[in-house]
Structures are given as C-alpha cells and as structure tokens.
Amino acid sequence: MAPTPAREPRRRGRPGYDQDAVLAAAVRLFNERGYDYTSMFDIAVALGITKSSVYHHISGKEQLLQMAMDRALDGLFEAADEVRALDVPARERLEQLIRRSVLVLSERFEYVTVLLRVRGNTEAEQHALARRREFDVVVTELVKQAQAEGGVRPDIEPATAARLLLGMVNSLTEWYRPRPGGADAIADAVTALAFEGLHTISPGRTPPDRH
Amino acid sequence: MAPTPAREPRRRGRPGYDQDAVLAAAVRLFNERGYDYTSMFDIAVALGITKSSVYHHISGKEQLLQMAMDRALDGLFEAADEVRALDVPARERLEQLIRRSVLVLSERFEYVTVLLRVRGNTEAEQHALARRREFDVVVTELVKQAQAEGGVRPDIEPATAARLLLGMVNSLTEWYRPRPGGADAIADAVTALAFEGLHTISPGRTPPDRH
C-alpha cells in the first residue's frame, strides 16, 4: 500500500510560516525536556531568534501547548468525520478509524505525544482531556454499533474495547519512530492484532463443527 | 474465576510497616501531582508526621522512587519466571504472561503508574527503563517462539507484537481503576482482544472451504 501523503498542517494567524516554525520547535522541546522545563527563552534559542521575535508570533507557552493539542485532536476528529461518511458496516468503519488514528499519530507524532502527556493542570489541558474523552466515546459508539450488527464479538464491553484499541494506538508514542512508508505497515499490524488476533486460528470461534 | 488475592508487598529494612506506609503515601503524591512537585515535606504532611520522622525510614525522594519502580518491575519479572516454568506451548505462556501482567498492574497499580511515567532523568530512572526494555525482550522472545511453533500468526514482527501487547496492558494505568474482582475481567478482555481479535469470525483465517 502506498504511504498516505503527510497532511499540510493548517496555518493560523498572519505570519503563518513563522508561527508553524515556532510551534514545531516548541513541541520538540516540550517532548524532550517536558513542558514545565521549557521556557520561551529556550524556544527562541532553539530557533536562533530573540525572545521578543517569538512573542511577535505567539502570546506565550500556553498558546503553543494549546495549538499543539489542537493539531493532534483536529487530526483525530477529521478522521472520525471521514469514517462517518463511509457507506460500509460499522465493523469496517471501526477498523478504518483505528487505522487512520495510527496514520494521524504517525503524521503528527510530536503533537500527539504532547497531547498524551497532558494531565489536566490548566483549563486548556482540561479542555483537551475532554476532547480526548469525546473521541473515546466516538470509538465506543462504533464498537456498540458493530456489535449490534454482529460484526464485533459481543463479549467485550464496548468502552473497554475502545480503551484497549486506543491504548494500543497511543502506545506508539512510547516506542514507534515515524519513518517514510512505516505508517501503513504499523497500521496493518495494529488492525491485524486488534481485529483478527494473534492466534493462528482463533479457538472457540471457528465455524460450527461439520459432523 | 475467583479474584487473585492481592500479594503482600515485600517489606524492606527494619521499620517495615512504616517504610511501606511512607512509600504508599509518596507514590500516591507522585501520581497526583508529579514526582518533581512532591517534596519530602509534602509526604510528611500526608502522613501526619514530621519530616525528620520520614527521614528516619527513608534516605530521600530518590529512594522512594527507586522502591516504587522496583516494586512494579519485580512483579513483572516474577510473573515472567512463573510463566517460564509452565510446561505448555509458547503461545499459552505468552497469553499467561500478558494475563499476569494485567494482574500485576492491577495489584500494584500506583507503583506501575509511577514506573510508566518515568522518562530517564536520573541513573535510577535509566536503570528502570533498561529493566522495562528487558521485559519487552522477554515478551518478544515468547512471540518468536510461539511463531516458530505455529501458535502465533507469522505476519506480525515479534518486537512489534510485544510492544502492542504491552502498550495495551500499560494503557490500563490511564483509564482503569482497580476494584475487587475487576482484574480477572479486564485480563479476560485484554487476552480475548489480543489473541482472538474483535472480529466475530476472523476473515482469512477460517478453515479451508469444504467445496
């Protein structure tokens, strides 16, 4: 399968390019040393510009965090919208949403990493956590619908299934490093494990005995 | 299935009970507000004792972090040892190890949560990360062996499968809250999803057509 082309990050405000560059540098530092241990001065140094030049584009660290979290969450909700429009059974939409979540994570790796480390210390972080929970609900509802249609096994609680699926996807920020063409391969592995399982033949779910 | 009885945490040093109480209070604070934002004074206040009483049992915050990480890692490696001794195919040992990892996480929830948030800022943290990687290797080797025996599908890279399995297990610290009897139910859900998959019938892996 051809690798999905990386999406162009949306540009905000007038001095688009510079704001994106500031954001990218900030997010790298947030992930390396932690949000609390990154100052606007550090961000300026990383970019080789003055602190006041940074403030020309950005109101402060909080805005950078907010933009990073939005970029991750917007990607996930765009994927949810695309999947909602597909005219296929819920089980396939669920599988597509998990696959696309892996691709969003791979394309927006640093932004998703920032998002997943947020613990809710500020109002903006609380808002981001609320949007994450909203996304959990989207996945939970798809599991429910797929169970009702008979496409997903009924013996796993929908919210638990959703959390385990997203837990597996989100774990990528801990060990996966994006590389060209790698996203589809890892999405294949995630969906194969999640939907077909690791067993060579799934015991107890083979078709009825023919005798 | 009856819930596995909680293991009695091993006691260290002479004033065992008090050291355990200090550790439990510290770990709770580390998880609530972060290790960096917890002082020995905070721990003393939480226990209703003086800071010098805390120092009677513990050399400092670093020792508490070390003990917390060890308690989590010791649980995982004890599970790996028990599973190694089982006289069953590698696929079943793998499934047992995933199940037991869920139970360890549930029994030692606060300790595993501390462990998983560590980023390697000190030598002790680096050592804990190395032991985590060692555990990844144990799981990877089991996947390899199970693939060689034909018990696990061969089309997922062993290290990737191990990481996805543990990613799913570790995600529990983010959303699961231990409750009596809950650990076995969640272990069932994890192993069902991981080994059998969410599909009602696994496509492409049903027995050969009878025509």
Q: What is the mean pLDDT of residues A119-134?
A: 94
In a domain, A5, yes or no: no
Q: What is the mean pLDDT of residues B159-172?
A: 98
Q: Token pair of A136, please?
A: 């959990």
Do A196 and B153 count as a contact with CB atoms less than 8 A apart? yes
Q: What is the mean pLDDT of residues A174-182?
A: 91
Q: What is the mean pLDDT of residues B36-61?
A: 93
In a domain, B101, yes or no: yes
In a domain, B2, yes or no: no
In a domain, B156, yes or no: yes
What pLDDT is stored for residue A66 in this prediction?
97
For residue B148, give the chain A residue with the closest CA. A200
In a domain, B20, yes or no: yes
Q: What is the mean pLDDT of residues B180-202?
A: 91
Q: State whether B45 and B107 are in the same domain.
A: no
Choose the weakest-confidence range: A158-167, B119-128, B187-196.
Answer: B119-128
Q: How far apart are CA A44 and CA B109, in angstroms?
A: 40
Tell me the average pLDDT of chain A. 89
Do A199 and B36 count as a contact with CB atoms less than 8 A apart? no
Q: State whether B46 and B73 are in the same domain.
A: no
What pLDDT is stored for residue A11 in this prediction?
43
Q: How far apart are CA B108 and CA B175, in angstroms?
A: 15
Q: State whether A177 and A73 are in the same domain.
A: yes
pLDDT tens column, A1-37: 444 444 444 444 444 458 999 999 999 999 999 999 9
A122 and chain B in contact, CB less than 8 A: no
Do B171 and A175 count as a contact with CB atoms less than 8 A apart? no
Q: State whether B30 and B130 are in the same domain.
A: no
Q: What angle do CA A41, A175, A65 make, to 5 degrees?
A: 30
Q: How far is B199 from chain A (nearest CA, A)?
A: 5
Domain of A28, CATH number, reads 1.10.10.60
pLDDT tens column, A43-63: 999 999 999 999 998 999 999
pLDDT category of residue A201 using cuts at 50, 70 and 90:
low
Q: State whether B125 and B172 are in the same domain.
A: yes
In a domain, A205, yes or no: no
Domain of B136, CATH number, reads 1.10.357.10
Q: What percent of chain A has pLDDT over 90?
A: 81
Q: Which long-range contacts (CB under 8 A, 24 or more apart) does B171-175 make?
A: B171/A163, B171/A164, B171/A166, B171/A167, B171/A168, B171/A170, B171/A171, B172/A167, B172/B102, B172/B105, B172/B106, B173/B105, B173/B109, B173/B112, B173/B113, B173/B116, B174/A167, B174/A170, B175/A163, B175/A167
Which residues of chain A does B156 touch, with a Cβ-Cβ cutoff of 8 Å?
Answer: 189, 192-193, 198
Q: State whether A88 and A76 are in the same domain.
A: yes
* Element housing A170 (H / E): helix A158-170
Which residues of chain A does B175 touch, with a Cβ-Cβ cutoff of 8 Å?
Answer: 163, 167
Q: What is the mean pLDDT of residues B138-156?
A: 97
Task: Say how many domains are in chain B.
Answer: 2
What pLDDT is stored for residue B188 in this prediction?
97
What pLDDT is stored for residue A181 in this prediction?
85
Do A205 and B210 count as a contact with CB atoms less than 8 A apart? no
A120 and chain B in contact, CB less than 8 A: no
Do A175 and B195 count as a contact with CB atoms less than 8 A apart? no
What is the domain range of residue B34?
13-58
pLDDT category of residue B13 using cuts at 50, 70 and 90:
very low
Q: State whether B170 and B133 are in the same domain.
A: yes
Q: State whether B100 and B166 are in the same domain.
A: yes
Q: How far apart are CA A45 and CA A28, in angstroms?
A: 13
Residue B2 has pLDDT above 50, yes or no: no
Which residues of chain A does B157 touch, with a Cβ-Cβ cutoff of 8 Å?
Answer: 189
b/e map B53-81, b = 16+ CB within 10 Å:
ebeebbeebebbbbbbbbbbbbbbeebbe
Q: Which of A161, A175, A176 sits opposite B193 (nearest CB)?
A: A161
Q: What is the mean pLDDT of residues B23-37?
A: 94
Q: Which long-range contacts (CB under 8 A, 24 or more apart) does B205-210 make?
A: B205/A196, B205/A200, B205/A201, B205/A202, B205/B153, B206/A206, B206/A207, B207/A201, B207/A206, B207/A207, B210/A210
In a domain, A203, yes or no: no
Q: How far apart are CA A90 and CA B196, in angstroms?
A: 19
Q: State whether A90 and A141 are in the same domain.
A: yes
Residue B118 has pLDDT above 60, yes or no: yes
Q: How far does CA B185 lie from the centroid of its chain?
A: 16
At a CB cut-off of 8 Å and minimum separation 6, what does A3 contact? A180, A181, A183, A184
Q: What is the mean pLDDT of residues B125-129?
A: 96
pLDDT tens column, A92-118: 999 999 999 999 999 999 999 999 999
Q: State whether A48 and A152 are in the same domain.
A: no
In a domain, B4, yes or no: no
Q: State whether A132 and A167 are in the same domain.
A: yes
Q: State whether B52 and B70 are in the same domain.
A: no
Q: What percent of chain B has pLDDT over 90?
A: 81
What pLDDT is stored for residue A17 in this prediction?
53
